[in-house]
Each structure stands twice: as structure tokens, then as C-alpha cells.
Amino acid sequence: MSDAIFRPFNPSDAERSDRSAGDRARHRVKVRESIRDNIADIIAEESIIGQNRDRIIKVPIRGIREYRFVYGDNTPGAGQGDGDSEAGQIVGKNKSQQQGEDKAGDQAGADYYETDVTLEELIDIMFEDLELPDLERKALRQIDAYRIAKRKGYRAVGIRIRLDKKRTARERARRKMVSRRTKGVSTSPASADVARRGRFPFHDDDLVYRHMITDVRQESNAVVLCLMDTSGSMDTMKKYLARSFFFLLYQFICTKYRNVEIAFIAHHTEAKEVTEEEFFHKGESGGTFISSAYQKALDIIQARYHPSLWNVYAFHCSDGDNFDSDNPAALKTAKELSDLCNLFGYGEIKPLGSRYYESSMLNIFRRLDADNFQTVLIERKEDIWPSFKTFLGKDRGQDQG
């Protein structure tokens, strides 16, 4: 037997030898395709709301399992006991009865039905085929949005390219005049010497540089106004549906704008601005004046998010229950709001099985004539994604038309 050959570890080989990169990329593509196919189901699941974007989500995958002819899980098997096994003892769980659990960890050969994606990735996938409506129109202006610098005053120091020649010459001229006026009162031997010879060169003190600052473009600011009815008639399920929708909206805006703020306005008969926590968890009793919320939104926009600097997205979730007397006011404020907003939406949440209210704001708002206003009806979890699409599609359709 000849000697064995040892090939030593070669770090540069190791770096180059990421041989599975191509296959991994292809697998990743398939995973994403599979997620995209099921995105509606995934969005309807509760797990994505109110979560950190780095959070890892388990997403069921269809289509990238490797299928073969295999025996069913209901077949008996043989194995090793713990040392003193007796008939009738339970040795484990029947795989076919466990659903949705990722067993890849301890069972070699078991195919996994779920894959991990970060929320971030999921959102990317969700939004890939959607574009934020307003951006399309502003797309041209959006180019180089953050590299554009704006002049702001002058400085005595700076880089050569920003030297302002005209102002520098003016500084020199000014200094020359001053030195002529003070002739005889020699400031320094050098300058006296220079003056005598008739030359008056530039001095460091003359140099003037343009000062630049990075401009904050208005396209990079957006605010999402979440309005919700927190009156007694909004139950947990309705709030959950509303929350999913707001979440989507916020996440979506986040992917498109650099600086996104969010404001929550809870209302019943009167509106107030609240924190997210309060927004979703505090129930109020009493009736509903929708106009109060809209008025509050208008106030907030005027005070903090002027439309010339901010892209305003407002969405209102309610169960459609409003005091009749408030409807004209609601309509009026809604009109004002849609004038200020990039997109303004009203979502009526009526889970199936809940009492059907005769007063539906959908009918009222039908009279509202604004291109960027959209009403949607959400009856079940599965409606969220299509509604969301409709909502965003409103503006897009207008662009295309």
C-alpha cells in the first residue's frame, strides 16, 4: 500500500470554493417564487403584524419539496428502545399527525415544509410587483434625490472646486482699498513692501468658498396617518383586520420613502392622537363622529406635515357606524383631506357574521368625488391583500389612464 497523500488546507481555495453559490441562488429564487404564489395566504396570517423587520417568519412553502415515491407515515417501523422497552409504550409522535411543525431539525431526510424568511424579505416580495402610486409621477424628480446638494452661504475654508472667484476678487479689492486708505500706517513690513512694488496679490484671507449642504428632498418625507374608530362597536377581530392593513401600508411606505412618520388618530365621538399601543389596545365606549377624526387629521397635517414637504397617506378604518347627523360633516372633511393627501382611503371592516349595520359609510362616500380617494370593504382576512392592492392601485390606475 502506497503512502497516503495529504493535501493541506488552502485558504484561497476555500475562498474560491463557494461552489454551491449558483445552486443556492437558484433555490432562493424558487423559494421566493413559492412565497409569491402564496403571498395572499401569508399576509392573511396574523404573525406578521406589529413585528420587528428583522424578525424571522416561518413561511410554508409549496413546490420546492423534492417528491419521490415514498411510504406513508402510517407504516410501522423498527428501531431501538431505551433499554427496557415493553409493548404498548409510546416511542414517539406519528409524523402524519403533526402538521406545520418544522421537523427538519432532528430528523435527517425529512423534507421541510417551511422556510425562514425575515419580515424584510417578505415585504420586499410583497411589494415587488407593486409600486407606490405617487412615486411614478415623481420618478424623474426622484433621481439623485439624496446626492443633490444645496448652497447655503459662504465660508472662508473649503475645497478648491467651490472657490467663488467673484467674491474672492471682491474681498481682495476690498482689502486693497482698506490698505490704500491706511497707507503709511504699515500693517506689516511684508505688505508694505509688496505695496511699494505696485503688486497686490491675493491673500488667504481673501478666499471665499461656497458652502454646500445636503438637501432634504421633499420626496423623501412621508407620513402615514392611521385613523381608526375605537368606539365600542369595534371588536378584536375588526381591530386585527385594521391593524394588518395599517401595518401593510406603513411597511409599504417605509420601503419607498426615506423618512417615514406615522401618526395614530383614534376617534369615537371625538378624536385624539395616540400612541400605537393605545391605538390598538384601548377600547372606548360610545358613539362615533367620523368627522372629528378627519378634522383632527387636517389639524395635524397643517401643524406638522405640510403637504409641500410631506407625502401624506391617510387611511381610515371603521365599521361604518356613524351618527347620521355627522355624515355631511364627514363628507366635507373627507373632501378636504383628499385634497391634501397623496392617497386617502376608507376601509370598512365588516367581518362575516357580524351584525350588518344599515348605515354604511361606503354609500355616503360614494358621493365623494376625488381621484385619490378609495373605499374598500374588508370582510375576512383574505380580503386584506386584494383591498390593499385596490387601495394602492387607485392612484396607479390614474397614472396609466
Which parts of this chain interact with another protein (CB under 8 A)? 1-9, 13-14, 17-20, 22-30, 64-94, 96-97, 104-106, 112, 116
Could you give the C-alpha distances from 231 to 50, 275, 291, 328, in angstroms and in order?
22, 17, 14, 20
Least Cβ distance, residue 78 to another protein (angstroms): 4
| C-beta of 92 vs 184, nearer to another protein | 92
Which triple of cell numbers denotes residue 352? Answer: 362575516
Helix 119-128 × helix 21-37 angle, to 10°: 70
CA dihedral sign, ordered 225, 270, 332, 328: positive
Task: State the Cα–Cα distance between residues 82 and 102, nearest whole angstrom.
Answer: 25
| C-beta of 95 vs 335, nearer to another protein | 95
Could you give the C-alpha distances from 109 to 66, 77, 91, 103, 105, in angstroms and in order?
11, 15, 19, 10, 10
* E strands present in 203-303: 209-214, 221-229, 259-267, 271-274
Task: State the Cα–Cα distance between residues 265 and 253, nearest whole angstrom.
Answer: 18
Least Cβ distance, residue 51 to another protein (angstroms): 20
Least Cβ distance, residue 112 to another protein (angstroms): 7
Least Cβ distance, residue 214 to another protein (angstroms): 40
Least Cβ distance, residue 64 to another protein (angstroms): 7
| C-beta of 19 vs 183, nearer to another protein | 19
Helix 290-304 × helix 327-340 angle, to 10°: 30
Task: State the Cα–Cα distance between residues 316 and 102, nearest whole angstrom.
Answer: 38
Least Cβ distance, residue 35 to another protein (angstroms): 15
Least Cβ distance, residue 210 to another protein (angstroms): 51
Q: Provide the 3-class DSSP secondary structure of residue 344.
A: strand
Length of the chain: 401
| C-beta of 13 vs 299, nearer to another protein | 13
Q: Is 346 exposed, middle or buried (0-12, 13-18, 19+ CB in 10 A)?
A: buried
| C-beta of 110 vs 177, nearer to another protein | 110
Task: State the Cα–Cα distance between residues 287 and 274, nearest whole angstrom.
Answer: 18
| C-beta of 70 vs 185, nearer to another protein | 70
| C-beta of 87 vs 157, nearer to another protein | 87
Least Cβ distance, residue 122 to another protein (angstroms): 17
| C-beta of 19 vs 199, nearer to another protein | 19
